[in-house]
């Protein structure tokens, strides 16, 4: 084989080999690109799902916070209404006078006398209390107590006393009264 043919054959073989290597390289590049694209899509999908989950969790958290704030605001407003009812009740007790006052307070005084005994003294908060004490033939302490109304019944030896002032009766039953007001005003049907 002449030299030129040999060179030509070598060139042809080399070109063919180059074409094969280039073809394989292109196929490898295509395969790797597809692989990279597939991984990128998978990662993008994973990131998207994670972002959607995070967003959903954030949304739930915000909704929960908002619900909590609304409940807190409602509770605060309910408490304000209950406090206002309490204040109105105190005002009504304070305005109670004359026969109505005596009719309301006298049974409490009689109950106090039963518990302490007839050897007791009445500490009044109002002039009407003095009338109750006189009617029941009980001694009255000169010094009046500061209260919305009602009296303190105490034994003459100062060992026992029963505070039946409106203030103390409201204080003792405050929780129960607040609960009843709340149930009356805010009962869910």
Q: ∠ CA(104), CA(108), CA(111), 5° rounding?
A: 145
pLDDT, position 91: 93
Enclosing domain of residue 20: 1-95
Would you give the DSSP letter of residue 147? S
Q: What is the pTM of this model?
A: 0.63
Q: ∠ CA(118), CA(112), CA(146), 5° rounding?
A: 110
| pLDDT tens-digit readout, 111-143 | 999 999 889 999 999 999 999 999 999 999 999
Kindly tell me if the per-residue pLDDT of 110 is higher than 70: yes
Among the three residues 70, 95, 120, which one is the final residue of a domain in this structure? 95
Among the three residues 38, 63, 95, which one is the final residue of a domain in this structure? 95
For the chain, what is the domain count? Answer: 2
């Amino acid at each position: 084989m002449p030299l030129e043919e040999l060179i030509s054959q070598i060139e042809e073989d080399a070109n063919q080999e180059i074409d094969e290597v280039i073809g394989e390289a292109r196929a490898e590049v295509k395969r790797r690109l597809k692989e990279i694209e597939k991984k990128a899509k998978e990662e993008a999908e994973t990131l998207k799902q994670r972002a959607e989950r995070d967003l959903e969790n954030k949304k739930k958290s915000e909704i929960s916070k908002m619900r909590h704030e609304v409940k807190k605001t409602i509770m605060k407003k309910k408490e304000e209404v209950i406090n206002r009812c309490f204040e109105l009740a105190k005002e009504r007790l304070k305005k109670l006078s004359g026969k109505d006052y005596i009719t309301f307070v006298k049974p409490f005084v009689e109950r106090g006398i039963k518990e302490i005994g007839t050897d007791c003294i009445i500490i009044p908060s109002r002039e009407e209390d003095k009338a109750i004490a006189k009617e029941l033939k009980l001694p009255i302490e000169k010094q009046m107590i500061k209260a919305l109304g009602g009296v303190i019944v105490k034994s003459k030896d100062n060992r026992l006393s029963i505070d039946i002032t409106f203030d103390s009766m409201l204080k003792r039953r405050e929780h129960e009264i607040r609960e009843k007001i709340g149930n009356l005003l805010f009962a869910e049907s």
